[in-house]
Amino acid sequence: MSSSNRTGSIPLTFTLTGIPGLLKIFPGLLMSSYWMALPLCCLYLLMLLGNCTLLWMIKSDHSLHTPMYYFLSMLAMADLGLSLSTMPTMLAIFWFKSTSLCFEACIVQMYFIHSFSAIESGVLVAMAFDRFVAICYPLCYGSVLTSSLITKVGGVIFLRGVCVVLPVAVLIKKMPFCSSRVLSHSFCLHQDMLRLVCGDVKVNSLYGLTAVIFTKGLDSLVILLSYMMIIRAILNIVSQEARAKVFSTCISHLTAILIFYIPLIGLSIIHRFGKHLPPLTHTLLADAYLLVPPVLNPLVYSWKTKQIRRRILTLLCWRWTQQRA
């Protein structure tokens, strides 16, 4: 059945999948999808609370108005956008048992998911550059990372994420789809939609691969080169205590890189070579890729960054004092 249905009497819709195979594992517990909706709601609330708290603290505390925290605020905004892109369909499936999504809405969701993912990858590169300048050229830090440069970098990262993914949405919108329109996840991803196309997908696949190489492939290479130079600079420090102190300023960023790229690489490998694996594996990796970084990033930076941790403790003490009064 071709995509001409979307302009005819029958609208083109996709069926989203919750978590395949989970009912067989927990037959008694998951008779109702509300058991999944509750932890998902908790995850989304934790994500909103963590990232909004980070943004509020950076905005309200003038001591945090430095390049490192400006980039951290960009990361928090990218995390918010990524999570809010998946939230409507995730909660609709598990809370309202609504698995149907029209073609146009699926395209929009796919576009925002991939755009915010590219933006987050770009922000991680900018944060790597921040650490590179701070460690390798500390005397030039203030003169290099000016407010003007940070604004321009943020604009370039945003425009790249918006523009690179746009042709993906335009190309797939023109493709004919088969009668089977069951997607593998609780949200729309480009690779998943491409699997249901009845036609030649060479152009779509080639551009999708080019977009991934231009964004996440190039970004991971730049991050790797940055840390190679950072490690070389750290090894040149004579004092072991000073080395540990300098390296500790990179731990939060390195953790953010790992929790973003490890699920992404795993998902890419499984999409290419793991077609024989059970659907549950694909679903859990996709969920980890889109849900774990937005939830963990605020926790990691709150735990490992002294200024943010001190600010949170100050707010908690003030709140406790107000309640006692």
The pLDDT tens digits of the residues spanning 257-284 come to: 999 998 888 877 777 676 677 777 777 7
Dist CA 268 CA 286 (whole Å) = 10
What was the pLDDT predicted at 323? 67
Confidence of residue 31 (pLDDT cuts 50, 70, 90): very low
Dist CA 194 CA 324 (whole Å) = 59
Which residues have CB under 8 Å from 140's CB, separation 6+? 133
Q: Is residue 26 part of a domain?
A: no
Q: Is residue 303 part of a domain?
A: yes
Amino acid at 61: D
Check whether 75 has a pLDDT greater than 50. yes
What was the pLDDT predicted at 7? 45
Confidence of residue 307 (pLDDT cuts 50, 70, 90): confident
Dist CA 239 CA 53 (whole Å) = 36
What was the pLDDT predicted at 3? 46
For residue 241 the two structure tokens come to: 């205590």
Q: Is residue 323 part of a domain?
A: no
Please give the tally of structural domains in the chain: 1
Q: Is residue 296 part of a domain?
A: yes
In this prediction, residues 184-206 reach a mean pLDDT of 89
Check whether 114 has a pLDDT greater than 70. yes
What does pLDDT average to over the chain?
Answer: 86
Confidence of residue 8 (pLDDT cuts 50, 70, 90): very low
Q: Residue 246's Cα: distance from chain center in Å?
A: 27
Check whether 166 has a pLDDT greater than 90. yes
Residue 21 Rama label (left phi>0; alpha psi -120 to 50; beta)? left
Higher pLDDT: 255 or 37? It is 255
Confidence of residue 319 (pLDDT cuts 50, 70, 90): low
Q: Is residue 263 part of a domain?
A: yes
Check whether 208 has a pLDDT greater than 80. yes
CATH number at residue 162: 1.20.1070.10
Q: Is residue 99 part of a domain?
A: yes
Q: Is residue 176 part of a domain?
A: yes
Q: Domain span at residue 143?
A: 12-18+33-309
What was the pLDDT predicted at 33? 58
Q: Is residue 316 part of a domain?
A: no
